[in-house]
Structure 1
Amino acid sequence: MLKIKDLTKTFGGRVIIDKLSFDVPDSEILTIVGPSGAGKTTLLRCISGLEKIDAGGFYINDQKFDPYENSGNESVIGVVFQDFQLFPNLTVMDNVTLAPKLVLKKDVATVKKEALESFARLQLDGKEDLYPYQLSGGQKQRVAIARALAMHPQILCYDEPTSALDPELRGEVSKIIKGLKQDGMTQIVVTHDMDFANDVADKQLHVSPIK
């Protein structure tokens, strides 16, 4: 279980998140919803270790954990970014296998086998030798999910997973997230799409701008 206690984050003297506490049980999906400027993405960046918090604490299975300081964070908390952040000069296979080889020190055969298993599951069969510019938005997102899963994270975070997709692809993303839940993956989803949030969430966290 992930527990967050009294998280506070400021930018330039302005409080963005003020003493926020919540928990995410194992294998559940938490959606974080709220208007623009409410701090949703900032909260996700704090959870994933991309931003240093000003106060508060993170606990995984009751053990204190600092995502910002932890050098092995990729294997604890994975992130699927809104703009996917794929390497344009690498193939789909290389995008997915690069980090496990460099960070987890896994052998090439193992990471390629795991990648192909993810591709089959995420309907990316036959795409492994393509480059990001040759993919649709939905395919890029699935590659980004495969890349995050390749690090075997305990928790997977998504920043606005439906914002760059056509509306008809929302159901596809929902199926992927629900399928990962069945496998035991704990997931946190930042979204402004309330229909999507209601569809996938076990619980919701509503955030509002600090006045």
Structure 2
Amino acid sequence: MLEVKNLSKAYNDRQILKDISFTLNDGDILTIVGPSGAGKTTLLRIIAGLETNDDGQILIDGKKYDSGKVGVVFQDFNLFPNLNVLENITLAPKLVLKKEKQEAEDDAMRLLTQLQMAGHEKQYPYQLSGGQKQRVAIARALAMQPKILCYDEPTSALDPNLRQEVEKMILGLKKTGLTQLIITHDLQFAKNVADQVLKVKPLNEG
């Protein structure tokens, strides 16, 4: 379970987040919705350990927060252009988790099959569509065995008719017991996939 309690963040005296609190139960999906400037991505970056918060606390299973338990799928996917799909997915498990090459590749192929990307493992990012890049980015994040997977605007970089495919993929991952947190401005998408929706707005709107 992820608990966020009274989280606050400011940049150069501009308050971005103030007293944000929520609980995300294991296996559930939380969507955080709001317009640009509401601090959604800042919140995700804090949860992912990429930014520090000024006040408040984050707990996972009632214990001090460990950002290593959180995976992130970025809006622009951040795939390494010089590595093929299989290499993108296996790099971190080999370096960080110290997995042997064969084990890392076996795990990667299992994830690619699960995400309907088997057969693409030797392709490079420039050869993939936006939806395919997203699936590779998800596989790469899952390869690190996170307890929670976070997405930053998973539908924004994709053709609108792919939204339903993204919904099916996220709900499919939910069936595996994965806990997911999604940042989005797409309220309908948020309602379609979420167990709970947290709405945020720019602080200057009161």
Q: TM-score range by the shorter chain?
A: over 0.9
Alignment match, 1:39: 39
C-alpha deviations, 1:88-134, integer Å up to 9, x for none?
00000000000000000011111111111111111111111110000
Alignment match, 1:208: 201
Q: Which of these residues, 138, 144, 151, is aligned with residue 158 of structure 1?
A: 151
Alignment match, 2:105: 112
Alignment match, 1:70: none
Alignment partners' CA distance in 1, 2:66 and 2:99: 25
Contact 1:30–1:189 (CA under 8 A) maintained in structure 2? yes
Across the aligned residues of Structure 1 and Structure 2, the Cα RMSD in angstroms comes to 0.8
C-alpha deviations, 1:7-52, integer Å up to 9, x for none?
0101111110001111100100000001110000110001001111
Q: Which of these residues, 170, 180, 189, is aligned with residue 187 of structure 1?
A: 180
Q: Which of these residues, 88, 102, 107, is aligned with residue 95 of structure 1?
A: 88
The share of aligned pairs that are identical, in percent, is 60
Give, in angstroms, the shift of residue 175 of structure 1.
Answer: 1.0
Matched AA of 1:41: T
The aligned runs of 1:73-84 (5 Å cut-off) are: 73=68, 76-84=69-77
Q: Structure 1 segments of 4 or more deviating over 3 A?
A: none
Alignment partners' CA distance in 2, 1:95 and 1:12: 36
Alignment partners' CA distance in 2, 1:123 and 1:25: 27
Give, in angstroms, the shift of residue 167 of structure 1.
Answer: 1.1
Does 1:132 find its partner at 2:108? no
Alignment match, 1:56: 56
Give, in angstroms, the shift of residue 195 of structure 1.
Answer: 1.3
Instruction: Give structure 2 stretches of 5+ with no counterpart.
Output: none
Q: Which deviates more from structure 2 when the two are superposed, residues 83-92 or residues 12-21? A: 12-21
Contact 2:60–2:66 (CA under 8 A) maintained in structure 1? no
Alignment partners' CA distance in 1, 2:66 and 2:11: 19
* TM-score between the two structures when normalised by the length of structure 1: 0.95
Alignment partners' CA distance in 1, 2:20 and 2:66: 16
* TM-score between the two structures when normalised by the length of structure 2: 0.97
Alignment partners' CA distance in 1, 2:66 and 2:159: 36
Instruction: Give structure 1 stretches of 5+ with no counterpart.
Output: 68-72
C-alpha deviations, 1:60-104, integer Å up to 9, x for none?
11112153xxxxx1xx00000000000000000000000000000
C-alpha deviations, 1:131-159, integer Å up to 9, x for none?
00000000000000000000000000000
Alignment match, 2:192: 199
Contact 1:57–1:66 (CA under 8 A) maintained in structure 2? no
Distance 1:23 1:117, change over 3 A: same
Does 1:85 find its partner at 2:85? no
How many correspondences in the alignment? 204
